Amino acid sequence: MSTSNGQWYPPEWPDRIRALAGGELRPVAPRRAATVLLLRAAAGGLAVHMLRRRASMAFAGGAYAYPGGSVDPRDERDVPWAGPAPEEWARRLGTDSAGAQAIVCAAVRETFEEAGVLLAGPAPDTVVADTTGEEWEADRAALVSRELAFADFLERRGLLLRSDLLGAWARWITPEFEPRRYDTWFFVAALPEGQRTRNASTEADHVVWTAPAAAAGGYDRGELLMMPPTISTLRSLLPYTTTAEVLAASGDRDLTPVLAQARLDGEEIVLSWPGHDEFTKHIDVVRIAGPTDRGPAGADA
């Protein structure tokens, strides 16, 4: 199905939606995940760090996204911590304290793994100024391979996770008909002074700092491919001109999870995201060809 904008839309979705409606497809339980909109000052306002997922990726290949990934269960253990406690985060994120800690840890860990930026410091009011060099890269690689737990990494380096540098921004859950599902919390954070982003991810083939309006314009013209949560959160940055404004606004953001809904309406499948009408699609069932995909694949690691 063609589209005039850059909305990510896999061709297998209609068949999977029909299979789900007919009871032939069992939804996969979503994995908890976190992603971070890294921000910095730029000429005329804000810039946000984005990466383009490799076209070969099974999930959202070719789409622009933010650094992020799945929760590591080990992140629920004791972690050197500064800023709002896990119990406070639990109230904000709508989960228990262990789960909240793991989600915040995933946000910080994945940002380091995929962008080389670390929201941690040796004291509650400091941040690491430089994360380059062979030793840092060795630790980052060990985190990516899960040979090293994030808590052990922080303890060994004498660092505290700075949870106060994050602001919760949104929450989206992958549709029930997708074979790889994530319950993802979106965070905002300012790029720490002295640190630089880089493409440290094997899942990305391109990274960029871009003005939210410029990236949204590229999506509207069909030049940049994005999933609904990505373009939605990108547009939500448009009213702000500084990172301080964004972080201050994060405390009032609605974190009610957004979950796509699909229904059969006569000879059409209607796909919608509640509260986000721009993503609604009407798909002609009669024109759908090809066998129904009846079984969900396993989730990515």
Q: Which two tokens stand for residue 114?
A: 């995929």
Six token digits for residue 152: 């052990």
Integer-rounded Cα radius of gyration of the chain: 19
What's the token pair of residue 20?
A: 């789900």
Each residue's pLDDT tens digit, 276-299 = 988 888 877 655 444 433 332 222
Q: Tokens in use for 55? A: 């076209």
Element (H, E) at 215: helix 212-220
Tell me the C-alpha distance between 109 and 101, whole Å.
12
Q: What is the DSSP string of 113-147?
A: HHHS---EESSTT---S---SHHHHHHHHHHHTTS
- Across 48-52, 53-57, 93-97, the highest mean pLDDT is recorded for 93-97
pLDDT band of 201, cuts 50, 70, 90: low
Check residue 263 and give its pLDDT.
79
User: Who wins on pLDDT, 26 or 90?
Assistant: 90
List pLDDT tens digits, range 150-184.
999 999 999 999 999 999 999 999 888 888 899 99
- Helix (H, G, I), strand (E, B), or coil: what is residue 222? coil
Please tell me the pTM assigned to this model. 0.88
What is the CATH superfamily name and number for domain 30-210+239-253? Nucleoside Triphosphate Pyrophosphohydrolase (3.90.79.10)
* Burial category of 287 from C-beta neighbours within 10 Å (exposed 0-12, middle 13-18, buried 19 and up): exposed
Number of H helices, E strands in the chain: 8, 14
CB of 216 closer than 8 Å to CB of 235:
yes
Asked whether 104 and 97 are in contact (CB, 8 A), the reply is: no
Average pLDDT, the chain: 86
Q: Distance (Å, rounded) from C-alpha 79 to C-alpha 101?
A: 8
Q: How open is the CA angle 298-300-301, to the nearest 5 degrees? A: 120
